[in-house]
């Protein structure tokens, strides 16, 4: 299976700072993950997607909130402080 970066040659593209909108907050699909963590998924204005795990007690955002992120190709990396209090 190819990753999104492999398909879009992410390593060849410059990293850029972007704003991303939170599109979902959900429990981990894999029950082996920490039950106290939630997965926050966001999309940038140009269509890059990414997600990160956040402890439920530290979650500080909702679906529809804008967060800081960086993107390379279609891969989005949410800021370390995104959705965390």
Q: How many CB atoms are closer than 10 A to CB 42? A: 30
Domains identified in the chain and CATH numbers? 4-78 (2.40.50)
What is residue 80's DSSP assignment?
T
For 64, the token pair is: 């529809």
Q: Give me the helices (H) in the chain, please.
A: 4-8
What are the tens digits of pLDDT across the range 42-84?
999 999 999 999 999 999 999 999 999 999 999 999 999 999 9
What is residue 48's DSSP assignment?
-
Least confident piece of the model among 8-17, 22-31, 39-48, 60-69: 8-17
Q: What pLDDT score does 53 carry?
A: 92
What residues form DSSP beta bridges with 66?
Answer: 21
Q: What pLDDT score does 17 carry?
A: 96
Q: Is the pTM of this model over 0.85?
A: no
pLDDT at 3 over 50: no
Going by C-alpha positions, the residue among 20, 17, 16 that lies closest to residue 42 is 20
């Amino acid at each position: 299976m190819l990753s999104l970066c492999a398909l879009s040659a992410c390593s060849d593209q410059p990293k850029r700072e972007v704003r991303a909108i939170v599109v979902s907050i959900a429990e981990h699909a894999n029950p082996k993950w920490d039950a106290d963590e939630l997965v926050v998924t966001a999309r940038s204005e140009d269509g890059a997607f990414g997600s990160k795990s956040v402890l439920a007690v530290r979650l500080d955002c909702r679906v529809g909130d804008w967060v800081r992120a960086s993107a390379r190709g279609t891969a989005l990396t949410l800021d370390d402080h995104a959705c965390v209090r």
